[in-house]
Amino acid sequence: DSGVTQTPKHLITATGQRVTLRCSPRSGDLSVYWYQQSLDQGLQFLIQYYNGEERAKGNILERFSAQQFPDLHSELNLSSLELGDSALYFCASSVGPDQPQHFGDGTRLSIL
């Protein structure tokens, strides 16, 4: 158990809808990262937050947004969903930006 908690584990929805994925980092970790894992793209970095502020951005679509709250949990919002958004979404956390990242077990998103 990495200590990173992601909910829900599975999410099934339709095209055009909006979903929110939630992540609770390990106790004491200030950095939260979001990654997408798909069969054709592998593991891709989406966005990072550190102590509530956005720190780095990857190839995150404009339809996607995230935030980190004062209690350090984070949410990833995906809107106007398309079939191609079906993937595993992982959250990771670390003590600081240059420290080892520990991953949760992910949310499997299926778009029908």
Cα–Cα distance measured from residue 28 to residue 82, given in angstroms and rounded to the nearest whole number = 35
Cα separation, 93 vs 102, in Å, equals 5
Nearer to another protein, 16 or 41 (CB): 41
Q: Which of residues 2 and 15 has its CB atom nearest to another protein in the complex?
A: 2
Which of 62/98 has CB closer to another protein? 98
Minimal distance in Å, beta carbon 19 to another protein? 19
Residues in the site for another protein, rule: CB under 8 A? Answer: 2, 4, 6, 31, 33, 35, 42-45, 48, 50, 55-56, 58, 90, 92, 94, 97-98, 100-106
From the CB of residue 48, how many other CB atoms can be counted at a distance below 10 Å?
A: 23
Whole-number Å distance between alpha carbons of 32 and 64? 16
